[in-house]
Amino acid sequence: MAEDLGALALLADLPAPTALAHPDVGAVARLGGGPDGEQGLATLEAVCRSSSLREAAKILCLHHSAVAHRIRRIERILRVSLSDAHGRQRIQTALLLWQLNAPGNWRSDQESSRQHGGPHSF
């Protein structure tokens, strides 16, 4: 996965508390923790990875109007337009930071292992 990220892998060097404290990352966390959170995150990821609404709809196996409805709801939560290239990049970065630092992910499991004398503690 790291080789797929290229320079974005450097974001993993940010301390988790710093990354999670950013307002954009907090908005992604609220989206994921809200009603239909998994659905919202899957939609957000598909939109960020695709070049069009119809392509995102194909990824999600949904009609494009259903995806458009989800996007409007997501944009209200995130307070960022996903049709704008800058807004999409901003939220894509926030999504990656959240994925790298969310409780229960590989990084927090690794940190917990270090604190409790696990196999990779230093």
Domain extents in the chain? 15-115
pLDDT tens digit sequence for 53-87: 999 999 999 999 999 999 999 999 999 999 999 99
Helix axes 85-101, 23-33, angle to 10 degrees: 70
Rounded Cα distance between 64 and 44, Å, is 14
* pLDDT of 2: 62
Task: For residue range 81-122, list pLDDT tens digits in order.
Answer: 999 999 999 999 999 999 999 887 655 555 544 444 444 333
Provide the pLDDT for residue 108.
52
Which range, of 4-13, 27-36, 47-56, 102-111, averages the lowest pLDDT? 102-111
Reference 34, options 5, 74, 63; nearest CA is: 74
Mean pLDDT calculated for residue range 8-28: 92
Cα torsion angle, 42, 28, 97, 122, sign: negative
